[in-house]
Amino acid sequence: MNSFVLGKRRIGDGHPPLVVPEIGINHEGNIAKAKQMIDDAARAGAEAVKFQTHSTHDEMVPNDVVPGNANESIWDIIDRCTLTRDEERDLKRYAESKGMLYLSTPFSREAADFLNELDVCAFKIGSGECNNLPLVRHIASHGKPLIISTGMNDIASVARTVEAVRETGVPYALLHCTSLYPTPWSSVRLGALDEMKNAFPDAVIGLSDHTRTNHVAIASVALGAAILERHFTSDKGWPGPDIEISMSPGELEDLIWGSQNVFQALGGSKEVLPEEQPTIDFAYASVVTTTDIAKGDVFSRQNLWVKRPGTGEFLAADYEMLLGKVARHDLPKDHMVRKSDIV
């Protein structure tokens, strides 16, 4: 069974799923908004929050590439939404003061080194960096667990990343992800969870979900997802490229509640529980007489049948076995047949 510890929280097989609300850059560079989202996530019961750590010039060259879920260049988005290092330090302290884990995705060496100085408990690696082996190796060199999203990567590509991570010996998780914003139901492909479990048996498996509801994330728990990540905002009326796929505080609470309930429902076997006995007593049927029966009469389909409750000595499953037996003494109609009634 695969698991590792984030802070004091163990995640993985046999442990409740960790729900990670991704604040990301939904704060649009406004630390007051960022703190409001931390507050709302904490009230919803979240154990962690996740941000993004950017160093624009160390991360990319100036460009005018526009993401599919935005109407301005990625350079302008990141430049506008990047928090100062002091603001990030403040946010980490603030989240931890609420008893929450502070996670963030570094998009460059400089960002990773800064997060390491902050002493984060783990690094999140985004789908775009999953196959960026130089950066993955640099981040892994800090010796902390990695949570790796795998959107836009197939098994062969993920395998190269896993090989690089294994070389460092750090524990890791792989999150299945579809990099469409929003993701259509038909493009989710939850079958990838089993595929990744089989291909990477030493990995903790999870889901980074970009659909508009909690249904897929909750369903993934039944397939072994131990980490559930969805974008999060305090207000769906706020601007931002990820707002459309972000869950509200109420939806976050529902995701936490729903995923924990599904986790509790996992496992077990098809057997009768002792707690079901009160229901058995009224719901099962017992073998009863349907007419008065005289001593020496033979039990037959004409004088025996099955009726509730299930508190008799012979239940419906015993009916055929009783046919042809002989009555030891007189029996009244609607009598639950007992062992002492049979010759």
Distance set, CA 64 to CA 1, 68, 76, 96, 126 (Å): 46, 13, 8, 37, 21
Residue linked to tokens 């690094």: 123
- 299 DSSP 8-state letter: P
Reported as half-sphere exposure (CB side, CA atoms, 13 A), residue 332 has a value of 2
Q: Look at the domain 274-341 and name its fold.
A: Type Iii Antifreeze Protein Isoform Hplc 12 (3.90.1210)
Q: CATH topology of 3-264 equal to that of 274-341?
A: no
> End-to-end CA distance of the chain, in Å?
57
Q: Look at the domain 3-264 and name its fold.
A: TIM Barrel (3.20.20)
What local confidence, expressed as pLDDT, does residue 80 receive?
86
| pLDDT confidence tier of residue 64, bands split at 50, 70 and 90 | confident
What local confidence, expressed as pLDDT, does residue 56 receive?
85
| pLDDT confidence tier of residue 240, bands split at 50, 70 and 90 | confident
What local confidence, expressed as pLDDT, does residue 16 receive?
98
The pTM of this model reads: 0.92
What local confidence, expressed as pLDDT, does residue 210 receive?
98
Digit-coded pLDDT (tens) for 264-293: 999 999 999 999 999 999 999 999 999 999
Q: Cα 255 to chain center, whole Å? A: 8
Q: Give the count of beta carbons closer than 10 Å to the beta carbon of residue 126.
A: 22
**Mean of the per-residue pLDDT values of the chain:** 96
User: Which of 21-30, 77-86, 285-294 has the weakest average pLDDT?
Assistant: 77-86
Average pLDDT in the 58-85 region? 87
* CA atoms of 309 and 285, how far apart (whole Å): 5
pLDDT above 90 as % of the chain: 92
What local confidence, expressed as pLDDT, does residue 307 receive?
98
Digit-coded pLDDT (tens) for 188-205: 999 999 999 999 999 999
Least Cα distance to 335 among 295, 290, 296, 275 occurs for 290
- The domain ranges of the chain are 3-264, 274-341
Q: Residue 210: exposed, middle, or buried by beta-carbon count in 10 A (0-12, 13-18, 19+)? A: buried
Pair 336, 313: CB distance under 8 Å: yes
